[in-house]
Amino acid sequence: MDRTAQLTTRSTEYEIAYDPPASGGSLHVRAARVLEANWTGGSTVPSRSLYPHQWSWDSAFIAIGLRHVSPLRAQTELETLLAAQWADGRVPHIVFNPSVPLDAYFPSPDFWRSSTAGRTAGAPRTVQTSGIVQPPVHALAAWLVHRADPVLSRTRGFLARVYPRLAAWHRYLLHRRDLGGGGLVSVVHPWEQGMDNSPCWDAPLARITPAPARSFRRADLEHGAAEDRPTDLDYGRYVRLAADYRDAGYADGDGEFAVEDPAFNALLIASEHALARIAEELGAPGTARHARAERLTAALVERLWDPETEMFLCRDLKGGGLIRERGVSGLVPLLLPGLPRDIAAALVRTLYGPHFALGDRTRLVPSHDLLGEAFDPHRYWRGPAWFNTNWLLERGLRAHGELHRADALRAAVLHLADVTGFAEYVDPYTGEACGATGFGWTAALALDLHHDLHQELHQELHQELHQELLKHRGQGVSGPGTGAFDTSDKGGDRR
């Protein structure tokens, strides 16, 4: 199997209508109901109460799960997000729903002022967005959504319509965000990396003068426990960085915060491989994109790999050097099948070692080093386990042949997602729900893993039946995946 194909899951027939059944007790039904409840007509909100707009990487993960119940709705999810793309190529991290009151979420559209402050960068005039970005999972999501129903995708021209936007998005990151000159993309705000208050940002943020507390009102504290959320001091620094970026017309390169992050770049690499596959599907060569992904992988290893900690670390371009904090971001590159074998093996050791203790002290992979001074099992990205990062690591373990470990992690994700009501994140030790429940990407990625498990069990059953049939016919037993009952995914189309 080629390397990009390993990032995908198996295609199958879809006999279930999108509308969840009126009754039924399966995880599939419960997850589908969460996605239906969060659907707004053109996209899916992460949480009705806490996050009432469309978020960029949330929508990519949500589309990956939605493809199992409605490939059409999964396509629409991505199309809605990409319709808000700026002329310079950036995909904003929030697309605001105009029907939601301004005070329902902060920073609101009147803070970002995208149509005015972002005019030079080509912000759209017909929709309000933020001015920063989030991790580029979108091409990977688009490829997986296409594979779910290639006939529908081709009929609608889905890939042909999203490919130019995805290519422009990658071009923006590669050309405008290589702030360190080493080939990697930099984030200019902690919210861009998605792990908002990770201890990895503590040192770079310490240089930022926070905005006065009286200058903003935190709507998030009305829907979540204060002890689970970022502190007021951190929030003041986030606001200051965002306001300075806005006031500079969203121009890149002059801010006080610039960090090369391993997870952000790993997701760009995975999506660059996926974009190559999309190009090939459209009849264009993907060789150059595969080669670019390989160069980015080499740059990732050269600039961010730390042999001492046996994981990738963030690089602070303003403060100089690697940031000596072990965050889950430094494990996410495991999802890249093109990673050198010795580095992949080291990441697996770290994942199961004392700093993350998966399957030993923790039920899911925590967001930060268990032994670090900043670790907190309940405070947002400073220790709790998140379902999207665990999904990525499950994919990574599977890509590198750690099948039993991947199976165990998948089982833990499915169980905890279900019993917590699809919580936003959980205590890594106890599995206790934290943050919002009925969370979009938790339901979507649980749905994806549930479908993957169902397909594997289906294949095993057919292989057993095939072997029994051969035995009774006296023909001997052939290897798995052969004959008429072969349901394995060869990466081809389902017509």
Are 39 and 65 within 8 A, CB to CB? no
Active-site pick, 394, 424, 427, 448: 424
How crowded is the C-beta side of 242, counted as CA atoms within 13 Å?
Answer: 27
CB atoms within 10 A of CB 50: 20
Beta strands, E only, 52-157: 54-55, 94-95
- Treating both helix axes as pointing N-terminal to C-terminal, what angle do 56-66 and 71-82 enclose, rounded to 10 degrees? 160
Cis preceding linkage at 107, omega within 30: yes
Spell out where 30-161 has E strands: 54-55, 94-95
Query: According to the 3-state scheme, what is the secondary structure of 388-403?
Result: HHHHHHHHHHHHCCCH
Residues 296, 269 contacting (CB under 8 angstroms)? yes
- Give the 3-state DSSP-derived string for 390-458, with helices as H, strands as E and coil as C: HHHHHHHHHHCCCHHHHHHHHHHHHHHHHHCCCCCEECCCCCCEECCCCCHHHHHHHHHHHHHHHHHHH
Q: Pick from 82, 11, 14: which is nearest to 43 by CA?
A: 82
Exactly one of 196, 261, 310, 448 is catalytic; name it. 196
Up-side HSE of residue 117: CA atoms within 13 Å toward CB? 21
Cα 396 from Cα 328, distance rounded (Å): 13
Question: In the annotation, is 247 catalytic?
Answer: no
SS3 460: helix
DSSP secondary structure letters along 136-165: --HHHHHHHHHHH-HHHHHHHTHHHHHHHH
**What single letter denotes the amino acid at residue 403?**
L
C-alpha 137/C-alpha 345 separation (Å) is 24
For the chain, the 3-state helix, strand and coil shares in percent, each to the nearest 5, are: 50, 5, 45
Closest CA to 197 of 324, 374, 323: 374
User: Is 424 designated active site?
Assistant: yes
Q: Which residues contact 419 (CB under 8 A, 6 or more apart)?
A: 431
**54-384-403 Cα angle (round to 5):** 90
What are the residue numbers of the active site?
196, 424
